[in-house]
Amino acid sequence: MEEQKIFSMPRIGDKAPEFKAVTTQGEVNFPSDYSGSWVILFSHPADFTPVCTSEFMTFASMEDKFAQANCKLIGLSVDGLYSHIAWLRTIKEKIEYKGMKNVEVNFPLIEDITMNVAKKYGMIMEGESNTKAVRAVFVVDPAGIIRTIIYYPLSLGRNFDELYRVVLALQTADEFKVATPADWRPGDDVIISPAGSCGTAKDRMDGKEEGLDCKDWFFCTKKLDKNTVLDRILKK
């Protein structure tokens, strides 16, 4: 019989697989400890590596921004707790990068020497490495449902502005029952769902539905003011 693959991979729309883990901030019960918050669970290949260091400094510098959007962060690598602690201390005490210095990583970093969590979340991709997690990102909503999954290879550092955009866009879609077009940012027009549930395509094309800009029957946008979006989403 073919050897069982070490990977399983949750999908968008699935309940986030549960796990208990030791982290740099104590034990975590995922996702139940995060109930009511958005959370980004992300993996990195290894402590004491340069791309990962640049990522942690960037993400940690943006932690307050994510917190204002009710989004917490939790990292993981298949290193042990003492390695995590030593690496984060080195970052704070010694590393200066792109104007960032004395960066304290206050979000939890999971130790996963057994690779239990990494395997559950499909973070080990043999073609890339069977001893390191790839750069995976799981955006989980307040109900514990996986809403976005992004994977990057070992050599490619993530774009954290994009991750912030993803969180705002998902929340905007939920709050305003809209979709967000390519490269959307708060203040840009949003897309309304295709005709059918309310109004007809003809009404839309004839301009009978107020505030819509229809390029064709299937593609209508409307304005959604930046402050309206941010007032609804960001904590005061």
Residues that bind ligand BEZ (CB under 6 A): 45-46, 49-52, 132, 154-155
Distance CA(138)–CA(37), nearest Å, equals 14
Number of residues that make up the chain = 236
Q: Least distance (Å) from ligand BEZ to the CB of residue 49? A: 3
Closest to ligand BEZ by CB, 155 vs 197, is 155
Give the residue carrying structure tokens 């960032």.
Answer: 100
Strands 190-191 and 219-222: antiparallel
CB within 8 Å of 159: residues ≥ 6 apart: none
Q: Least distance (Å) from ligand BEZ to the CB of residue 132? A: 6
Closest to ligand BEZ by CB, 46 vs 150, is 46
Q: Which of 52, 71, 214, 220 is an active site residue?
A: 52
The closest of 183, 179, 184, 171 to 229, measured between CA atoms, is: 171
Judged by phi (left if over 0) then psi (alpha if -120 to 50, else beta), residue 152 lies in beta
Closest to ligand BEZ by CB, 85 vs 154, is 154
Is 52 annotated in the active site?
A: yes
Q: Least distance (Å) from ligand BEZ to the CB of residue 91? A: 13
Catalytic residues: 52
